[in-house]
Structure 1
Amino acid sequence: MNTNINVNETMQLIKELVSIPSPSGNTKRVIDFCEQYLANSKIEMKRNRKGGLLITVPGENDQQHRMLTAHVDTLGAMVKEIKANGRLKLSMIGGYRWNSVEGEYCEIETESGKVYTGTILMKQTSVHVYKDAGDAKRNEDNIEVRIDELTNSEEETRKLGINVGDFVSFDPRVQITKSGYIKSRHLDDKASTAILLRLIKQISEEGIKLPYTTHFLISNNEEIGYGGNSNISPETVEYLAVDMGALGDGQASDEYTVSICAKDSSGPYHLGLRKHLVNLAKQHNIDYKVDIYPYYGSDASAAIRSGHDIVHGLVGPGIEASHAFERTHETSLMNTEKLLYAYVLSPITTI
């Protein structure tokens, strides 16, 4: 299998993607980037009404379609309240824990597009002042944003143009190590987005003829539950979400293989498609792990919940410390790329 994979280029693309703020609800800039990345490819692209990017590659069989998705929206926050001391109270976007963003640098984007920097802190941070600095509950009442501007009151903060509903994004702190790791916030799911973008570009540039018309959706609302639940053509037979493998105690996934999901919180994924993916991995000597993610949902499960009559599956690189300070290895990215390349060229065997 000649996939022409250059994992260094994939990692550099991931670095670019995670460096573009894109919390769910404010993703136009990163979708623009994805569209521009594919601009010279002779492929059909359009935006859906939710702002996602839909790419279609015609195949030899136009009666049966495939769809692959990755999501480019991330965790983030909104300004919930401007406090009397000029600092900001936050409302979460997506499912994370407050302790995972404590001490993080952030950006506040106003309605006019002006951006301010700040730091997310406990109001009881100073151990020299607060006896309960270590014990105080990490929640939305105690977490606040210290803005890097001269402001000590609600009035002064409002004069900056900051208001309730402004988006707050987290510093990704992206690094690529000499040992082959990439660590950053938002590898969920910008790692898989980069993999799909590079696959689409390769198909276009090398003139690869796919066996089935294949749609690729860069979705932008997955973290809030409905990113990939629409724009699914009635001809679509198989729907594959490309997201992350979750790592931790009791999990089979790791940072070096491609994860193939058997079940998550939505229930089992399609057995026939899972078997097909496993067989492809075996056939092409791709390192993989089959796993179950107990507190997880994907664009594929959202599509099933929306009533689409499709075969659904989920694969992705193994991501350590999901929804916090994430990390994966180049070998996991490479194995995921190899599996997806083999998949889009394989026959549909699930019907």
Structure 2
Amino acid sequence: MTKALQPALDRAYIMRILEALLATPSPSGFCMEVMKLVRAETEKLGFALEMTPKGNAVITLPGADDEAGGTLALTAHVDTLGAMVRSIKPNGMLRFTPVGGYAMQTVEGEYCLVHTRDGRTYEGTVLSTQPSVHVYADVRDQKREEANMEIRLDELVRTKEETERLGIAPGDYVSWDPRTRILPNGWIKSRHLDDKASVAALFGVMEWLKREGVRPAGTVKIILSTYEEVGHGSSYVPPDITELIAVDMGAIGDDLSTTERDVSICAKDSSGPYDYGMTSRLIGLARREGLPHAVDIYPYYGSDASAALRGGGNIRAALIGPGVHASHGMERTHADAVMNTAALLIAYMMDKGEDD
């Protein structure tokens, strides 16, 4: 094993990319605009990008020794939680259906955008069907479930027909206001840190490779997926890949030890254990580099690595990512966790294939 790398990652660059990603709506399957951002930034860095038929991006980072063996893939997802218009109610309100798995109470009171298929957007607010304590006696006890939730549009509409005249229809996407705050002390609070914090970390890795003029030990492919939140983001991976690291948020809470400043290393989630050798190597590299980290088990979690394995990928797989509190709600992490994640990925890429 070589000595610690201590890469000089550009924190300001990573935070700028993160802020731009968070500001771009991208619920699962509605990632066209965020992929334009991804393509433009990748081209600035001088790396090749290809799009798969279902909309994933594959970015190739040439290795110093392209004959060294199989290809390493790093995958993160640009898609987020969101919703879709299910129907227009007689009073002009919208009933919606979730895109991704979240508890309804986490979006109650949230501002949102409705995206019509002809390119228009309308603002709205998610409310329960009994939103006022001054009007409804059982407002506090009403169950927060799909049938009891609706979107109030910020338009002069009181009937289904008036809403339809706006061009809104069932099947239109709904995105949540991320409410992003990147604070001077390093705290980052926003929706969709799952998984845009990891995507920003990957761009930090690419920017470091470009600026330093170095190559990873072997070829690396970065896969940015667009359907992870609904379970099949990286279900297909290119056939030359032998190792895959899913870069996704680290869960926090209960008996888990990850914090919002750590890079989290997941040994097992709901899909089963991750590759023993890769996970052990990641733990060893985190120790060698002096990176704050934790190893945890996620009982209610699946990743793009899970999807790749279930999709038939003949690969070894591991999972790491920045610790994120209150996942699928109002999430929070720290810039240190994003930086630590990027640093661990660089350590793995640069030392790939060496003996521990």
- TM-score category by the smaller chain? over 0.9
The yes-or-no answer on 1:306 pairing with 2:311 is: yes
Quote the offset at 1:231 in angstroms: 3.3
8 Å contact kept, 1:127–1:133: yes
Residue number among 156, 170, 181 corresponding to 2:187 in the alignment: 181
Deviation above 6 Å: which 4+ runs of structure 1?
none
Match for residue 231 of structure 1? 237
Quick one: distance in 2 between partners of 1:100 and 1:41? 37
Quick one: distance in 2 between partners of 1:334 and 1:46? 26
Quote the offset at 1:16 in angstroms: 1.1
Quote the offset at 1:2 in angstroms: 4.0
Match for residue 68 of structure 1? 74
Residue number among 122, 125, 133 corresponding to 1:127 in the alignment: 133
Quote the offset at 1:232 in angstroms: 2.1
1:298-325 CA-to-partner distances (Å, cap 9, x unmatched) read 0001101111111100000000000000
Moved more, 4-13 or 62-71: 4-13
The yes-or-no answer on 1:346 pairing with 2:346 is: no
Residue number among 86, 106, 117 corresponding to 1:111 in the alignment: 117
Pairs within 5 Å for 1:144-155: 144-155=150-161
Quick one: distance in 2 between partners of 1:65 and 1:38? 20
Quick one: distance in 1 between partners of 2:225 and 2:297? 23
Quick one: distance in 2 between partners of 1:41 and 1:283? 29
Residue number among 27, 31, 43 corresponding to 2:31 in the alignment: 27
Quick one: distance in 1 between partners of 2:93 and 2:304? 35
Match for residue 266 of structure 1? 271
Number of aligned pairs?
349
Quick one: distance in 1 between partners of 2:140 and 2:233? 37
Match for residue 21 of structure 2? 17
Quick one: which amino acid aligns to residue 85 of structure 2? V
Residue number among 206, 210, 230 corresponding to 1:204 in the alignment: 210
Q: What secondary structure does 1:277 align onto?
A: helix
Quote the offset at 1:341 in angstroms: 1.0
Quote the offset at 1:349 in angstroms: 6.4
Quote the offset at 1:138 in angstroms: 0.4
Q: What secondary structure does 1:273 align onto?
A: helix
8 Å contact kept, 2:10–2:204: no
Quick one: which amino acid aligns to residue 28 of structure 2? S
Q: What secondary structure does 1:39 align onto?
A: helix
Match for residue 249 of structure 2? 244
1:4-27 CA-to-partner distances (Å, cap 9, x unmatched) read 112233222211111100000100
Quick one: distance in 2 between partners of 1:6 and 1:196? 12
Quick one: distance in 2 between partners of 1:169 and 1:70? 20
Quick one: which amino acid aligns to residue 110 of structure 2? E
Moved more, 222-231 or 197-206: 197-206
Residue number among 270, 280, 284 corresponding to 1:279 in the alignment: 284
Quick one: distance in 1 between partners of 2:184 and 2:47? 35
Q: What secondary structure does 1:137 align onto?
A: coil
Match for residue 7 of structure 1? 11
Residue number among 331, 335, 356 corresponding to 1:326 in the alignment: 331
Quick one: which amino acid aligns to residue 103 of structure 2? R
Residue number among 47, 50, 58 corresponding to 2:51 in the alignment: 47
Quote the offset at 1:41 in angstroms: 2.5
Quick one: distance in 2 between partners of 1:292 and 1:8? 32
Match for residue 260 of structure 2? 255
Quick one: which amino acid aligns to residue 276 of structure 1? R
Quick one: distance in 1 between partners of 2:152 and 2:304? 35
Q: Is there any run of 5+ residues in structure 2 with no aligned partner, and where?
A: none
Quick one: which amino acid aligns to residue 261 of structure 2? Y
Moved more, 197-206 or 29-38: 197-206
8 Å contact kept, 1:300–1:314: yes
Q: Is there any run of 5+ residues in structure 1 with no aligned partner, and where?
A: none
Quick one: distance in 1 between partners of 2:186 and 2:204? 19
Quote the offset at 1:175 in angstroms: 0.3
Match for residue 164 of structure 1? 170
Quick one: distance in 1 between partners of 2:219 and 2:304? 20
Quote the offset at 1:76 in angstroms: 0.3
Identical-pair percentage: 46
Q: What secondary structure does 1:38 align onto?
A: helix
Quote the offset at 1:335 in angstroms: 1.2
8 Å contact kept, 1:175–1:184: yes
Quick one: distance in 2 between partners of 1:64 and 1:305? 20
Quick one: which amino acid aligns to residue 100 of structure 1? T
Quote the offset at 1:197 in angstroms: 1.5
Quick one: distance in 2 between partners of 1:268 and 1:130? 48
User: Normalising to structure 2: TM-score of the pair?
Assistant: 0.96
Q: Aligned-residue CA RMSD in angstroms?
A: 1.2
User: Normalising to structure 1: TM-score of the pair?
Assistant: 0.97
Moved more, 116-125 or 60-69: 60-69
Match for residue 289 of structure 1? 294
